[in-house]
């Protein structure tokens, strides 16, 4: 397979809510281009892109798939992405290297909640975007309403290029207001017949054509002058203006099709070929240094790994985009971070799981290689004398966590290895050994995401494990000041241990006055605790009752005790301790004695100082359809949520609430059930707040029972 002209390589990513028909559209595009001899279907589990057995069993995309077609003299790389936001990592990695986004809308359902999330990412990536209203052959399709919703949510720059002559079961023709022609399809779809626009549609088509021309011209002064002079723009002028407008996010063209009946996909590919930007047309890639790297086939060799997968018999598969230069099989490149050398023994282009070996790929193209030694997702490989590093993809924070464990403790090492491999493939999956909770935690985007991880571990790595509710990282503190003392004395023949401390233990807050009634010798030592909050320490010893050399041991004893709070064993925060008296022994006093005395004195004071438990509160944002809003709010009220606000967001409602983390376990699945899939949520840590007294007592009792057991 020959290397293509960089100007004729188009990288498009198919985006959209689950069920919008992205995979079926990809299948139609492959068929129209002659890449496959017959079209598969999702129902028959034989499509090119959804080839993983888990995808075929579920009937929807879970992983992004890379395909390529030859369309006339262009190469179009197609990335088909999942629709569920549980798999947003697959979507983001594909968007990061695409040059055009194709958002597929379901003509029955309009702009769905998953599309809202995708739109936000297209804006952050500044990705040129077009819309394809799919399934216009469905009896419940409503093209006009779908376009109106898109304009309402995404702005007036959403402009119609095509509309169905007749939608529903009789759909077989598209009116194109850019070409000003009607395409009529045969019953089995495929290549359409070009016909004049029917008389009854002329006025509507003329108006939409003028709207399109004005939308293109208004963003380019030279085109605007031509438009005023001639009252029209040529096809070449329109193509030039539309490409520039798409790159600048000044226009978002709308097409329509029935991908299931193969009506309209060819026209979408024609637009991608003629107008959609290639990588060389796009702004240069951003480097970590703040400089940029132009897409130049004659430049220094540089590629970026945007995705990693693995196969049992093959090992790691690295998906990459060539950002500069022309790479060839056998090239030795350098990892920009590790400085290690990587040899590209083989280079492939793929269609789903079918690989074709090639000798070289030019800047702007996408391919895969195998068995890289140490270059995971987000790695940049470059020539030794041209140390470029492309800015990494920023993946979203996790929204759900579970604790993982095995019945057979001997399998734990295998489990960790398997999950570590999955984490390398999917950066939105995070494995952590929590020192605080004493659990192995697995973080993901939702229950579906974690279920996929579990399936892969159990089926590919043959390790069975449990996912259980994780403990909550509470914090402990106090509400009043207490004076206390403790003497540690131990005699066991020869030198013993002796240390006595007198402490003032207080709740700490910013701006509080110095300890009252005590002599403060110097400014306090302030410890920023790694788990949040502060520990402030005053030395108020006068008269030499405790040598200064023992102060660090006293601090250490208190800090160690703060890692295991008396209420629930949680970390302690926001405490001020003043050492104001004590005793020592000339022979028996040592660091250990004062460390133990301080720890015991602190524990004793803590229990008398009205201890309280703090729980993590998360700020939750929910985007939900109006129909399900009441059920969602009612459910939030059962979770001790504090509703912070409700406002319209397009044709959805956005609910903002503060919710205790302990009430959010499995929330993504519950929300999906409550809204019938028409909702999404995000959450992030907001603050710690006091646990209600009744719940605190239950938690304390449970901890004590565990300790006794």
Lookup: tokens for 505: 């233990």
Distances (CA, A) of 556 to 410, 525, 535, 552: 36, 13, 11, 6
Judge contact between 504 and 518, C-beta under 8 A: yes
The predicted-structure confidence for 5-34, as pLDDT tens digits, reads as follows 899 999 999 999 989 999 999 999 999 999
Taking the C-alpha atoms of residue 523 and residue 518, their distance in angstroms, rounded to an integer, is 13
18: left (phi over 0), alpha (psi -120 to 50) or beta: beta
**Tell me, what's the pLDDT at 84?**
87
User: What 3-state class would DSSP assign to 54?
Assistant: helix
Torsion of CA 201, 202, 207, 208, to 10 degrees: 60
DSSP annotation string for 595-627 = HHHHHHHHHHHHHHS--EEEEEEEEEEEEE-HH
The predicted-structure confidence for 647-670, as pLDDT tens digits, reads as follows 987 678 899 999 999 999 989 889
Lowest mean pLDDT among 86-90, 413-417, 586-590: 586-590
The predicted-structure confidence for 490-519, as pLDDT tens digits, reads as follows 877 667 899 999 999 999 999 999 998 898
The predicted-structure confidence for 376-391, as pLDDT tens digits, reads as follows 999 999 999 999 999 9
- Strand 252-256 relative to strand 129-134: parallel, antiparallel, unpaired? parallel
The predicted-structure confidence for 304-356, as pLDDT tens digits, reads as follows 999 999 877 777 899 999 999 999 999 999 999 999 999 999 999 999 989 99
Give the largest CA-CA distance in the chain: 112
The predicted-structure confidence for 223-234, as pLDDT tens digits, reads as follows 777 767 777 777
All structural domains of the chain? 6-281 (3.40.50.300), 285-382 (2.40.30.10), 400-468 (3.30.70.870), 476-610 (3.30.230.10), 614-696 (3.30.70.240)
pLDDT at residue 1 greater than cutoff 60: no
As a whole number, mean pLDDT of residues 456-484 equals 94
Q: How many residues does the chain have?
A: 709
**Tell me, what's the pLDDT at 113?**
82
Judge contact between 368 and 348, C-beta under 8 A: yes
Q: pLDDT band for 59, please (50, 70, 90 cuts).
A: confident
As a whole number, mean pLDDT of residues 426-433 equals 95
The predicted-structure confidence for 262-294, as pLDDT tens digits, reads as follows 999 999 999 999 999 999 999 999 999 999 999
Taking the C-alpha atoms of residue 116 and residue 109, their distance in angstroms, rounded to an integer, is 13
Judge contact between 37 and 351, C-beta under 8 A: no
Instruction: Provide the whole-model pTM.
Output: 0.87
pLDDT, the chain, mean: 92
H-helix segments, 162-232: 199-217, 221-230
Lookup: tokens for 560: 């160690």
Q: If you compute the radius of gyration of the chain from its CA atoms, what whole number of angstroms results? A: 32
**Tell me, what's the pLDDT at 408?**
83
- The share of the chain scoring above pLDDT 90, in percent, equals 77
Taking the C-alpha atoms of residue 259 and residue 430, their distance in angstroms, rounded to an integer, is 37
More confident call, 708 vs 33:
33
**Tell me, what's the pLDDT at 219?**
77
User: What 3-state class would DSSP assign to 361?
Assistant: strand
Taking the C-alpha atoms of residue 177 and residue 242, their distance in angstroms, rounded to an integer, is 14
**Tell me, what's the pLDDT at 460?**
87
- The share of the chain scoring above pLDDT 70, in percent, equals 99
* In 285-346, beta strands by DSSP E: 285-286, 292-293, 302-311, 315-324, 326-328, 332-335, 341-343
Q: Which of 362, 269, 259 is nearest to 71 (CA)?
A: 269
- Dihedral sign of CA atoms 138, 139, 144, 148 in order: negative
Taking the C-alpha atoms of residue 274 and residue 268, their distance in angstroms, rounded to an integer, is 10
Judge contact between 388 and 454, C-beta under 8 A: no
Q: pLDDT band for 3, please (50, 70, 90 cuts).
A: low
pLDDT at residue 589 greater than cutoff 60: yes
Taking the C-alpha atoms of residue 590 and residue 593, their distance in angstroms, rounded to an integer, is 5
As a whole number, mean pLDDT of residues 696-705 equals 92
**Tell me, what's the pLDDT at 238?**
84
Judge contact between 400 and 411, C-beta under 8 A: no
Cβ neighbours of 76 (radius 10 Å): 22
DSSP structural state of residue 20: S
As a whole number, mean pLDDT of residues 616-640 equals 93
**Contacting residues for 40 by C-beta, under 8 A, at least 6 apart:** 27, 46, 47, 48
**Tell me, what's the pLDDT at 227?**
66
Taking the C-alpha atoms of residue 15 and residue 17, their distance in angstroms, rounded to an integer, is 7
Lookup: tokens for 532: 């949040």
Taking the C-alpha atoms of residue 75 and residue 71, their distance in angstroms, rounded to an integer, is 6
Lookup: tokens for 282: 């796009």
């Amino acid at each position: 397979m020959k290397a293509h002209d960089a100007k004729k390589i188009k990288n498009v990513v198919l985006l959209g809510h689950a069920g919008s028909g992205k995979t079926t559209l990809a299948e139609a595009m492959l068929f129209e281009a002659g890449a496959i001899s017959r079209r598969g279907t999702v129902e028959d589990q034989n499509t090119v892109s959804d080839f993983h057995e888990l995808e075929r069993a579920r009937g929807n995309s879970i992983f992004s798939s890379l395909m390529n077609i030859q369309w006339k003299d262009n190469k179009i790389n197609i990335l088909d992405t999942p629709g569920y936001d549980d798999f947003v990592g697959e979507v983001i990695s594909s968007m990061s290297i695409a040059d055009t986004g194709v958002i597929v809308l379901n003509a029955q359902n309009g702009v769905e909640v998953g599309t809202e999330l995708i739109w936000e990412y297209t804006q952050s990536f500044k990705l040129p975007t077009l819309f394809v209203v799919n399934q216009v052959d469905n009896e419940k399709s409503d093209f006009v309403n779908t376009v109106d919703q898109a304009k309402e949510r995404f702005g007036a720059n959403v402009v119609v290029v095509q509309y169905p002559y007749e939608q529903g079961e009789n759909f077989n023709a598209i009116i194109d207001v850019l070409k000003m022609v009607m395409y009529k399809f045969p019953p089995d779809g495929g290549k359409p017949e070009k016909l004049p626009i029917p008389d009854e549609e002329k006025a509507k088509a003329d108006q939409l054509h003028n709207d399109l021309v004005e939308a293109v011209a208004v963003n380019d002064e030279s085109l605007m002058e031509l438009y005023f002079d001639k009252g029209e723009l040529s096809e070449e002028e329109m193509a030039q203006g539309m490409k520039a407008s798409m790159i600048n996010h000044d226009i978002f063209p709308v097409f329509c099709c029935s991908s299931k009946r193969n009506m309209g996909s060819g026209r979408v590919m024609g637009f991608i070929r003629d107008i959609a930007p290639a990588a060389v047309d796009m702004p240069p890639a951003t480097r970590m240094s703040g400089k940029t790297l132009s897409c130049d086939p004659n430049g220094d060799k540089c590629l970026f790994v945007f995705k990693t997968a693995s196969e049992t018999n093959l090992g790691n598969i690295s998906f990459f985009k060539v950002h500069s230069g022309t790479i060839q099989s056998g090239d030795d490149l350098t990892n920009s971070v590790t400085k290690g050398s990587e040899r590209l023994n083989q280079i492939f282009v793929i269609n789903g799981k079918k690989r074709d070996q090639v000798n070289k790929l030019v800047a702007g193209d996408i391919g895969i290689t195998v068995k890289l030694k140490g270059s995971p997702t987000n790695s940049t490989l470059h020539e030794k004398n041209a140390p470029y590093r492309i800015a990494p993809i920023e993946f979203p924070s996790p929204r759900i966590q579970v604790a993982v464990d095995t019945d057979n403790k001997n399998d734990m090492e295998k489990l960790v290895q398997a999950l570590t491999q999955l984490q390398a493939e999917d950066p939105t999956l995070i494995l952590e050994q929590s020192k605080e909770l004493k659990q192995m935690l697995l973080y993901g985007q939702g229950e579906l995401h974690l279920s996929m991880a579990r399936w892969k571990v159990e089926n590919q790595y043959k390790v069975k494990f449990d996912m259980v509710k994780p403990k909550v990282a509470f914090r402990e503190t106090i509400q009043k000041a207490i004076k206390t003392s403790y003497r540690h004395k131990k005699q066991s023949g020869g030198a013993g241990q002796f240390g006595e401390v007198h402490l003032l233990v207080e709740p700490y807050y910013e701006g509080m006055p110095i300890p009252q009634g005590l002599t403060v010798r110097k400014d306090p030592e302030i410890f920023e605790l790694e788990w949040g909050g502060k520990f402030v320490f005053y030395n108020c010893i006068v008269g030499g009752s405790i040598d200064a050399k023992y102060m660090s041991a006293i601090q250490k004893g208190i800090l160690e005790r703060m890692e295991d709070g008396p209420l629930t064993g949680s970390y302690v925060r926001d405490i001020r301790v003043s050492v104001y008296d004590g005793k020592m022994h000339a022979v028996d006093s040592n660091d250990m004695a004062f460390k133990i005395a301080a720890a015991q004195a602190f524990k004793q004071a803590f229990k008398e100082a009205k201890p309280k438990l703090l729980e993590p509160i998360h700020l939750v944002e929910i985007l939900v359809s109006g129909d399900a809003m009441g059920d969602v709010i009612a459910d939030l009220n059962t979770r001790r949520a504090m509703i912070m606000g409700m406002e319209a967001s397009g044709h959805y409602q956005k609910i903002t609430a503060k919710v205790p983390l302990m009430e959010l376990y499995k929330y993504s699945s519950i929300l999906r059930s409550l809204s019938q899939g028409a909702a999404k949520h995000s959450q992030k840590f907001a603050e710690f707040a006091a646990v209600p007294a009744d719940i605190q007592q239950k938690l304390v009792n449970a901890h004590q029972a565990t300790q006794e057991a």
